[in-house]
Amino acid sequence: MPQNLTKRQVKRLPDEVRFSGRVLFLADDAEAIRRQLAGEDLPWPDTIALRDNISTDEITPAYICYYYDETLGDFPYLGLRAGKEFPITRGSIRAGGFVCSVAGTRRGKGSSREQSPYAELCAGVRLVIAESIERIYRENCQNLGVLTSTDFSLIQRVRRGEPIPLAVFTRGEGDITRGIIEFGGLFQYNVARMQGKVTVPAVTTPPRPMTLAEKIIARHWVTDLANDRLGVAAVRAGDEGFIRTDIRFSHEYVTPMAAIFWRDYVGEHERIVDPGSVFLFRDHLTFLDLAMTDARKAEGLLDVALELKKKQEEFATQQGVKLYGELPRAGQGLHGIPTGSEAICHSKILEAHALPGQVIIGSDSHTPHAGAIGAFAFGVGTTAVFNSWLTKDVRIQVPPSVLIRVNGRRPPGITAKDFMLQILRHPYVKDGHAIGKIVEYAGEAVEDLDIDERATMTNMAAEVGAFTGLVRPDEKAVEFLVRERGAKASEMRALLAGLFSDGGAEYETVIDIEAGDLEPMVALPGDPGNGLFIGELGKQVKIDIAYAGSCTAGKKSDMDMYAAVFKDALERGRRIADGVTCIVQCGSQEVKRYCEERGYLEVFREVGAQFIEPSCGACINAGPGVSYDKDTVTISAINRNFPGRSGPGQLYLASPYTTAASAIAGYITAWEPGGVAVGV
Ligand code: SF4
């Protein structure tokens, strides 16, 4: 532990807290909000209709997340829609002197971005009240020291400046969450833990049959942080504690904010723990300059976004941490921005770093990608990333497990993406029952997949809403590690010892999918759960853009699929359909080299597809392939198609085969080897 933290005074908040400031009602009526911003305190209880379903996108729209420090306090609720208006303007919340913010149901839904509660905190909001509060947003609030409650009787007490017992905010919470609230945030709690002022309750689960994930968790369970002791006999769903990480990574949306926390709370010159197992990535915004509208550029947002890159680079240099950054390419890009990243974070972690049985945390919801080789990998928020730099561990409450088996043999042309679109439309998943669970994928059809294809499934555990997804590591994982990294087969095989689910391990649900029943699938715009067999579309859907890329679909095996379809097309004298823009984007420089070696770049060029360098690009509405109007129809092999995800157009999801075949046909269609496009 850094010396200055051994002496840092950390103490629990007083037994009673007082709030001094105004209460803001996030109302459905723009005028009601404007009146509050002008200084009027609305009567309560009254007929104020509160806004439900306020997403983190509304609290801090994506472009606001280019800011990473206290400036965020200028922006909370800038995207909040009240009726048809957006009444909240820059600086108005801070200027209004609000200490408490009140909303309706499902506050903080959507993206897990911690910029949202941090923006509220920086604007002065210390208490969030809502009829219901989404889990990740609530956890982010707790980690930052923002109090949360669903008790509306507190409103009058806040207004009267009455003392409120802290216990009101900790009631019903587990020991660790209670501790985090009492210490005013995760960092303060962790310092208290490192100073021995709090003890994490021991896990007492007796030996029992465990799932693969539970075994990895049990091996990594921190029993004594100060003396670096790990491991318990067994865990079960609900056990709460900390687990030691093997790899921690973050991308440019998160690193700068975490770095600010590090500077402010720990000290700029303190070194992070075990920097060799920390990786940083510049991947999300590499091509932003090519996608951002001129209006946004005129507002100065591109310059703000470029600061993320600069700050991340500074932190990497200062800490001696490996940064997978951008590759310079003279004469390309605007503002001197080089084109192309070294890799998308998950792609590189799986290609070069993850090992079976490891615990990996990353700042992205698709961190479970590495579950393809049996790693326990999951996404965390900024405060958790920052704390892991200090403690190398991460808080966990063991989630229940769900087993999803894909049985039998898959028909030709059916891919992992088709499995996932079928899984996502299963009622158990679609109705949200898998949210926060561990998903273990198994069955003959999963075992038959190569590691890249398994990664499509574990990556899309994020769309399932799962805590993570993983596959039992087997000989294919060993072959992958030997082939991709030159690892020793015997050493890799040794890692597999014990990495399987025991007979009798507990699953909350088992879902069986028959691979033989599947046909190529497509998800209608709006949600990855809107899956249909292409034959069920019932009409011909013409496309304008085919985007073949992202972490999910920019791997080597994805490139094999695109190239197979395009070679087939070329042999039949066909090219990308007139009026269709087709973009192929790889997930790493390693994948690009693979394409070069196999002559794929030539195939892509001949068929009329544009090949571009690694980056998240259009997947995050930040690169070539985005749509600019609502009538544009895109087919894409990416993992999610929420409204606005890749521009305002209509985004259909499909497999790499279907994406490529549709680019040739000009409308959504499956691929039949030797036939290019079947049509509907
Ligand atoms: S490619 Fe898309 S899904 Fe993957 S990490 Fe980037 S933004 Fe996220």
What HEC string does 176-239 produce?
HHHHHHHHCCHHHHHHHHHCCCCCCCCCCCCCCCCCHHHHHHHHHEEEECCCCEECCCCCCCCC
CA-angle at 253, arms to 251 and 255, nearest 5°: 60
User: Is the minimum distance from the CB of 584 to ligand 1 under 6 angstroms?
Assistant: no
462: nearest Cα among 365, 363, 359, 380: 365
- For a ligand 1 pocket test, name from 550, 555, 626 the mutation site with the most ligand atoms within 8 angstroms of its C-beta: 550
Q: What is the mean pLDDT of each run of 10 residues along the chain (680 residues)?
A: 84 96 97 97 89 90 90 95 93 98 90 91 98 89 96 97 97 93 96 92 96 98 93 97 98 95 94 97 91 90 93 97 86 53 96 98 95 96 95 96 98 97 96 92 98 98 94 98 97 98 98 98 95 96 97 98 97 97 96 96 97 92 91 97 88 98 97 62
Position 675 scores a pLDDT of 62
The phi and psi torsions of 366 (rounded to 5 degrees) equal -95, 15
- The letter for the amino acid at 29 is D
Distance between CA atoms of residues 483 and 634, nearest Å: 35
Residue nearest to atom 6 of ligand 1 (CA): 616
Q: What is the DSSP letter of 75?
A: -
Q: How far is the CA of 616 from the centre of ligand 1 (A)?
A: 5
- Three-state SS letters, 401-449: EEEEEEECCCCCCCCHHHHHHHHHCCHHHHCCCCCCCEEEEECHHHHCC
What b-and-e string marks burial along 69-107, b requiring 16 or more CB atoms within 10 Å of the CB? Answer: beebbbbbbbbbebeeebbbeeebbbebebbbbbbbbbb
Sheet of 438-442, strands arranged across: 468-471, 438-442, 401-407, 509-514
Distance from the Cα of residue 627 to its chain's centroid: 22
The single residue listed with the structure tokens 């079960």 is 236
Distance between CA atoms of residues 284 and 622, nearest Å: 7
Q: How far is the CA of 619 from the centre of ligand 1 (A)?
A: 6
User: Is the minimum distance from the CB of 553 to ligand 1 under 6 angstroms?
Assistant: no
Where are any strands of DSSP class E within 240-349? 240-244, 247-251, 278-281, 322-324
CA-angle at 125, arms to 130 and 79, nearest 5°: 70
Q: What is the DSSP letter of 253?
A: T
Q: Which residues contact 215 (CB under 8 A, 6 or more apart)?
A: 498, 499, 501
Centre a 10 Å sphere on the Cβ of residue 13 and count the other Cβ atoms it contains: 15
Distance between CA atoms of residues 127 and 631, nearest Å: 42
The phi and psi torsions of 191 (rounded to 5 degrees) equal -65, -45
- For a ligand 1 pocket test, name from 613, 639, 642 the mutation site with the most ligand atoms within 8 angstroms of its C-beta: 639
Q: How far is the CA of 397 from the centre of ligand 1 (A)?
A: 26
- Look up the pTM and report it: 0.92
Q: What is the DSSP letter of 469?
A: E
Token pair of 481 as six digits: 């590690």
The single residue listed with the structure tokens 């690892």 is 487
- For a ligand 1 pocket test, name from 111, 341, 613, 620 the mutation site with the most ligand atoms within 8 angstroms of its C-beta: 620
β-sheet bridge partners, residue 510: 403
The single residue listed with the structure tokens 């002496």 is 7
Residue nearest to atom 2 of ligand 1 (CA): 619
281: nearest Cα among 312, 318, 246: 312
β-sheet bridge partners, residue 240: 397
Pairing of strands 401-407, 438-442: parallel
Distance between CA atoms of residues 608 and 569, nearest Å: 11
Phi-psi region of 211 (alpha: psi -120 to 50; beta: other; left: phi over 0): beta
Sheet of 545-548, strands arranged across: 531-533, 521-523, 650-654, 633-636, 545-548, 581-585, 610-612
User: Is the minimum distance from the CB of 545 to ligand 1 under 6 angstroms?
Assistant: no
521: nearest Cα among 409, 652, 638: 652
Position 61 scores a pLDDT of 87
Is it true that the peptide bond before 45 is cis, omega within 30 degrees of 0?
yes
Q: How far is the CA of 459 from the centre of ligand 1 (A)?
A: 10
The single residue listed with the structure tokens 């921690």 is 248
User: Is the minimum distance from the CB of 548 to ligand 1 under 6 angstroms?
Assistant: no
Q: Which residues contact 338 (CB under 8 A, 6 or more apart)?
A: 326, 327, 328, 329, 332
- For a ligand 1 pocket test, name from 252, 253, 284, 348 the mutation site with the most ligand atoms within 8 angstroms of its C-beta: 284
Residue 122, helix vs strand vs coil? helix
Distance between CA atoms of residues 57 and 78, nearest Å: 9
The burial class, CB within 10 Å (0-12 / 13-18 / 19+), for 268 is exposed
96: nearest Cα among 148, 21, 28, 164: 21
